[in-house]
Chain A
């Protein structure tokens, strides 16, 4: 369980996070939902300590984290798996070396075991056989999947994913979402996912936190989200739906065209 208490953060006088609190439960996929630029990535980085919040604190399973001693922070961090928005693969290393890296640095596995583990997670993200590729040879979506593989390789206790399925086709996006949910439930880890995709909300959102301009406006389950009376959230859902409806209409038109041509 991760507890976030009253986090504030400004950059050069511009408030990005304005008093965010929340409890992220173990074994659940927690979603941070919000439009571009609302501070989702900054919040995630505050939680893992890459950005120091101006005010506020974070505890991991009861252990105080934010301003604790470096040793204790590093101990907690070794239990964290994180996927960055830009994937952040080490570009001087092959895919295999990238995924093996945390195992090598933090674990006491033998070489064979490590390679086994690399192959297992690569298979789970649907990239078996990509071991010897360099990051520069991968597409954006493939990089994302390697990033996820690297995050989950060392059996983490806490998993953070910054937009795991943006830039992926709908089918792969769905697979990645399901993979993250599976892992979360299977190993009982605490997962926080940043997203602006309503599909993810409907498919895997156990608990959703809606951010708007640095504030948390709403939290609740995916069943409750459709009945919300928060105006900003409704607009957000509506805009997402609009897009999907438009897509549906397009598809139907295409279908009709195909039918027409067949006739």
Chain B
């Protein structure tokens, strides 16, 4: 375990040694960002909309006390979305989607000697292949999380009003009450940390694949499990540090 962690730290340090020109790094990062964004936007949209909808239905089910105003439903959907659901659930979904594709892609390149081919050309394969993925994730994840915030709150609105549990005015006044902007900042900080963890852990797992197709599959699964655990631990630590 400790040995793995040491190897991971060494791996991270190679990312920044002797990289390619800034122009190449920029182009590669943009390519990766587009891939990550386009591949994940659909699943993020679906998941966040439904999570928002389910949250609002469940809250209203639990709130049958006549002394609590119905607008509380909107308020609680917003708070839960901003603090936990949008950043953390989205990141866990992305760990599956992005993490497995990073690890699978790098693993395949490793076992088919494509990484060796880069190295022989005098290119630092980690800074060429991995660094753009990490930077791109850090850029794209917050955008996906912001999207997830809107869709989740929107999903709550649709579900709440369609089921007749809450009126449109009540929901809107709920999501506008006692808004703390810092919670959004907190969510974005979390998304950046998670992005770094997912992309670097998955790259690490993929880059050190050896063997054949079977090992590539194992690297992908390993990337997802390790990323998810890292997200949950980091989530706990960040909540203690920053709230």
Contact = CB atoms under 8 A, between A and B. Distances in A.
B116 A88 contact: yes
A45 B116 contact: yes
Interface string A57-86: 000000000000011011111101010111
Given A86-B112, A88-B114, A105-B24, A50 B119 contact: yes
Contacts, number: 52
A90 B123 CA distance: 14
A75 B122 contact: yes
A137 to B, nearest CB: 16
A77 B124 CA distance: 11
Contacts of A88: 112-114, 116-117
B122 A86 contact: no
Contact of B121 (A71, A73, A102): A102
A80 B113 CA distance: 16
Contacts of A125: none
A105 B123 contact: yes
A186 to B, nearest CB: 22
A71 B108 CA distance: 27
A106 interface: yes
Nearest to A102: B121
B242 interface: no
A211 to B, nearest CB: 20
B120 A48 contact: yes
Interface residues of A, number: 25
Nearest to B116: A50
Contacts of A75: 122
A200 B123 CA distance: 32
A71 B18 contact: yes
Given A78-B122, A106-B121, A70 B116 contact: no
Interface string B108-145: 11001110110111111000000000000000000000
A75 B20 CA distance: 13
A70 B14 CA distance: 11
Interface centre among B112, B119, B120, B123 (most CB of A within 10 A): B120
Nearest to B20: A105
Nearest to A50: B116
A47 B48 CA distance: 53
Contacts of B119: 49-50, 77
A27 to B, nearest CB: 21
Given A45-B116, A91-B114, A102-B121, A70 B17 contact: yes
Contact of B117 (A49, A78, A90): A90
Nearest to B124: A74
Contacts of B123: 105
User: Considering residues B18, B119, B122, which has the most beta carbons from chain A within 10 angstroms of its beta carbon?
Assistant: B122
Contacts of A71: 18
Contacts of A82: 117, 120
Nearest to B18: A70
Given A86-B113, A88-B113, A90-B114, A50 B122 contact: no
Given A70-B18, A71-B18, A91-B112, A77 B121 contact: yes
Nearest to B120: A82
A101 B114 CA distance: 13
Contacts of B24: 105
Contacts of B122: 73-78, 80, 106
Contacts of B113: 84-86, 88
A84 B117 contact: yes
A48 B112 CA distance: 17
Nearest to A150: B117
Interface centre among B17, B113, B121, B123, by most A CB within 10 Å?
Answer: B121
A-B pairs, 5 with minimum CB distance = A77-B122, A88-B113, A78-B122, A74-B122, A88-B117
Given A50-B120, A90-B109, A90-B114, 8 more contacts: A70-B17, A70-B18, A74-B124, A75-B122, A78-B122, A88-B114, A90-B117, A91-B112
